[in-house]
Chain A
Amino acid sequence: MTTLPLSQRAADVAALLAALRWFRAFRRTRPFWGGLWLGLGGIWLLTFANMSIGLALGGGWNQSAAYVIGGGMLMFALTAWFAPFYSALVGFTGVLLALAAFVSVNLGGFLIGSLLGIVGGAMVWGWGEKKPRKQKAEAA
């Protein structure tokens, strides 16, 4: 077993803490969890479409609905993350897509995809920027 020098371990810990701080800032400045559920709903629909993209594009709406709706939910989830200022519009569109999935894509991915999309889209729609945390010293 090899042991890292103390300076190396300290650097690793610092990098890890920096990554955690970055992720926390990322998460707190956008509708992270709503986008995550909405995106997972889209991925779920795409997974259970079980159809090649060539076949989907060669056919009509019935074949391609999973790609359009599932892909749309995934796209709006990413849009919610990277354009949080428009979260209300993106969340509303995500909910509409999740509802459309119920009638178009295998009962909304056997309900699970639609439910994830509705919950996620609603969370994105209702998201608002958080108040900055008070500093501990200030609170004391």
Chain B
Amino acid sequence: MTGNRRRQRVLVLFALVALLVASTITTGGRDEPAHAAGACGPNDAYRSTLQLYGGAGTLRPCLSKVNINVGIPQSGQSHFFDIQKIRIIEDNVTLRYADGSTESNLKHITFESFNVRDNMTLTVDGPGYDVRMAPDAAAVIGGEGVNTDLWVTGDSFVTVSSIILFFGLCTTASVNLFSNLSWLLNGSSWTGCGMNLDVRFMAVYRPTGSTTGLFPIKLPNTTISVL
């Protein structure tokens, strides 16, 4: 009933080998790109050098090619966010990633005092899975007096509304067109109807220095799901 010794020996060997293989292939794990040894090439040669808006600082991040999608779907003429100013800083940025590859034609834009009233979803496109963060109320990525620098793809877009623009109707502007519209976007406060930004890197900072208790990122009552 229990089979012969030879068969049992094979079964036990198979079980031990399966355990060894499983524990070997799963113990590697993934290190954070910024901390893994040699993650950005020899002597950190593959780090990008990024200038913040207005000379606020220089960053040298180790970018892991992860895309963050900031999505606020438009719903009629409803307003979901406020931005003091939308600036295009650099029109043709090339980012270098940790594996040595590069991506060109990215846009460096800045939102001043970015507040989200509702309806935003942040999706981080991870390797093999996505992490989605959906605040169910007002969220802040920046806030009053804070700049939000974003390095985004050109086909990202914001849909904004202003009384001087088409009588307050929601109008979509692709980031590719920001250079042509900078005279308009830079000079006015905007209420927004929607946006879809594919962000390669984001930096949130207060040009005048930080203040205790004023947190630039607030995601209250956020549903986090892994897809």
Contacts and interface: CB of A to CB of B under 8 A. Distances in A.
A binds B: yes
Interface string A48-92: 000000111111111011011001100110010011111001100
Interface residues of B, number: 25
B29 A75 contact: no
Given A26-B1, A30-B2, A76-B15, A82 B8 contact: yes
Interface of A is mostly: helix
A74 B207 CA distance: 57
Contacts of A59: 29-30
Nearest to A85: B8
A68 B23 contact: yes
Interface in A23-42: 25-26, 29-30
Contact of B11 (A57, A58, A62, A83): A83
Given A75-B18, A93-B19, A61 B29 contact: yes
B2 A82 contact: yes
B42 interface: no
A85 B5 CA distance: 7
A23 to B, nearest CB: 11
Given A84-B2, A85-B2, A54 B29 contact: no
Interface of B: 1-3, 5, 7-9, 11-12, 15-16, 18-19, 22-23, 26-30, 126-129, 226
20 contacts: A25-B1, A54-B128, A55-B129, A58-B126, A60-B30, A61-B26, A67-B22, A68-B26, A75-B15, A75-B18, A75-B19, A82-B2, A83-B9, A83-B12, A85-B2, A85-B5, A86-B8, A86-B9, A86-B12, A93-B19
